[in-house]
Chain A
Amino acid sequence: MVNFDKVTFEYIRRDEEGNVESINKALDEIDLDVKKGDFIAILGANGSGKSTLARHINALLTPTEGTVYIEGLDSKDEDNHLKIRQKTGMVFQNPDNQIIASLVEEDVGFGPENIGVPTKEIWERVAFALDKVGMTAYREKSPNNLSGGQKQRVAIAGILAMKPECIVLDEPTAMLDPKGRREVIETITELNKNEDITIILITHYMTEVIGADKIFVMNKGNIKLSGTPREIFKEVDLLKEYQLDVPQVTEIAHRLRQKGMNLPECVLTVDELVEALATGDRG
């Protein structure tokens, strides 16, 4: 679905005469292979290259060197951009910057209308998309009065109406309260499971990625670690070196193990640790 082949991207700064002042390598020979239907999470410190990578997936940026293929389409070829952007939609951090219409249904229908989908089908797509994100009841409401989590779900519905194969979410929960965060994560998890939509989630909240199929950890433009959540979060010390963290329960279990308690190597959820402590032999 998404293939990166030795992708390098440089931000080049020029002075007033156009001479190169500095070059910042945001992505450094990245190889990445995401399969259709995967739930991928990308972790990394601020400035590690996560957002730059995300913007390559729907051709908002194209590589300085190397190639990005989206379902076989080379993102360097501008003729492919429209097709790529229909296949991969993006959700950003601030919900207020992504809502444009005065009614929820118009906002969701904006994308398909723009690409000339017949009116009847637009309404079918809008109904379908709002249903999938659980926002049908707000169809004829103003987006302005929605909570942050609801606005992000409307933004996701707007992408769903484009019938995408992949949704890239760049810190979609950074500005949300706990309930809003849960709503967004539940919504994308269901879309991944029930609609087979590929999800690429960038976040700073470690607890949001424990359900991912695979996690990539970025640092200074490189992918330093990749693996299942359990493989990644057992590297408690290494993650801290990359300015990251692990879920609180994972850290508690890790420290209890260091004190000699007999616990599984990597605990990801409250349920797991409760079971291990309440029933297991605790050493």
Chain B
Amino acid sequence: MSLILDKINYYYGKGTAFETAALKNISLTIPDGEFIGLIGHTGSGKSTLIQHMNGLIKADSGSIYFNGQDIYDKDFKMTELRRKVGLVFQYPEHQLFEATVIKDVLYGPTNMGLDKLKAEVLAYGSLRAVGISEDLLDASPFELSGGQKRRVAIAGILAMNPEILILDEPTAGLDPMGRFEILNLLKAIHEAKGITVILVSHSMEDVAEFAERLIVIDDGEIKYDDEPRKVFAHAEDLRKMGLEVPQCTELMGRLADRGLDVDRNCLTIDEAVESILNGNRRK
């Protein structure tokens, strides 16, 4: 089970005077069960890339294989791909439309042609997974708080039982606690169900803490594809791409530059605190 992108090229305005390459020769392998962060400045090609992954955009050249099958083959069932690669857009709560929470989440599995009972099992299960309590099932989605709405929207995708879950900035506009809840929720779903998660984010702190693998895209090309710790060691290069390193990584780098005995590659507050205390003890 995997998703393989092989030498993908995609152009905006192909054949016109405004033709620009949005994706250049992208090759990627997404095996089962990874938690991947995807970063890049606005317009770098992140959204175009993830829309290739579930067939919403067709590459101008190159191939995509889902579980060994060429998705551009005329016998390939695109509806299967769209179900198994769930895409949660930015501000997904704007897409809630049903009269009640449960009906909204049931929409996907029912549309897949599942019988009522199976659809309900999936819908209830995914609402439980995102932490929406049962007393909210019959509430209107529009009565919920921002964070709750977003979780209901994610449940709607989860109810399709995807193998890969791609989220485009799922924490934009949420308060710090709301961010933390959504990210922990993704981690829990990833761990419990073994679902591959691809998190598109503008928050370096978030991908540093949660992703196991980090892909950096700049100007339609993959610049880094490695462990977050190794990627964030390239602070200068990332800044040139309009990105950053987490504040604690910046701090540790600066301390190491000043000759302190600390690990310059810390990614989280916990790691930074631990490293500074250890360095202090050794002194």
Contacts and interface: CB of A to CB of B under 8 A. Distances in A.
Interface of A: 44-47, 93, 147-149, 171, 174-181, 204, 206-207, 240, 243-245, 247-249, 251-252, 255-256, 259, 261, 270, 273-274, 277-278, 282
A207 B251 CA distance: 14
A274 B251 contact: yes
B247 interface: yes
B250 A270 contact: yes
Contacts of B43: 147
Nearest to A273: B251
24 contacts: A45-B175, A45-B177, A46-B173, A171-B173, A177-B40, A177-B242, A178-B41, A178-B243, A178-B244, A180-B41, A204-B174, A204-B179, A206-B176, A207-B247, A240-B177, A243-B175, A244-B176, A245-B176, A248-B246, A252-B272, A252-B276, A255-B269, A256-B273, A278-B255
Contact residue range for chain B? 35 or more
A201 to B, nearest CB: 15
Given A259-B277, A273-B251, A274-B251, A178 B175 contact: no
Contacts, number: 111
B16 to A, nearest CB: 15
A260 to B, nearest CB: 9
Contact of A251 (B90, B269, B283): B269
Interface centre among B40, B175, B178 (most CB of A within 10 A): B175
Contact of B202 (A178, A249, A274): A178
Return the 6 tightest CB-CB contacts between A and B, nearest first: A243-B177, A179-B242, A245-B176, A178-B244, A248-B247, A278-B258
B176 A243 contact: yes
A274 B173 contact: no
A274 B173 CA distance: 31
A179 B243 contact: yes
A126 B127 CA distance: 51
B65 to A, nearest CB: 31
A16 to B, nearest CB: 14
B42 interface: yes
Contact of A46 (B90, B146, B269, B276): B146
A244 B40 CA distance: 26
A261 B283 CA distance: 13
Contacts of B178: 45-46, 243
Contact of A244 (B169, B173, B177): B177
A222 B88 CA distance: 34
Interface in B74-110: 90
A19 to B, nearest CB: 18
A247 B247 contact: yes
Given A178-B204, A179-B242, A252-B251, A46 B174 contact: yes
Interface in B146-199: 146-147, 169, 172-179
Contacts of A248: 205, 246-248, 251, 269, 272
Interface string B26-43: 000000000000001111
Interface centre among A47, A178, A251, A259 (most CB of B within 10 A): A178
Interface in B28-61: 40-43
B42 A46 contact: no
A277 B260 contact: yes
B133 interface: no
A93 B276 contact: no
Nearest to B41: A177
A249 B283 CA distance: 22
A282 B175 CA distance: 34
B230 interface: no
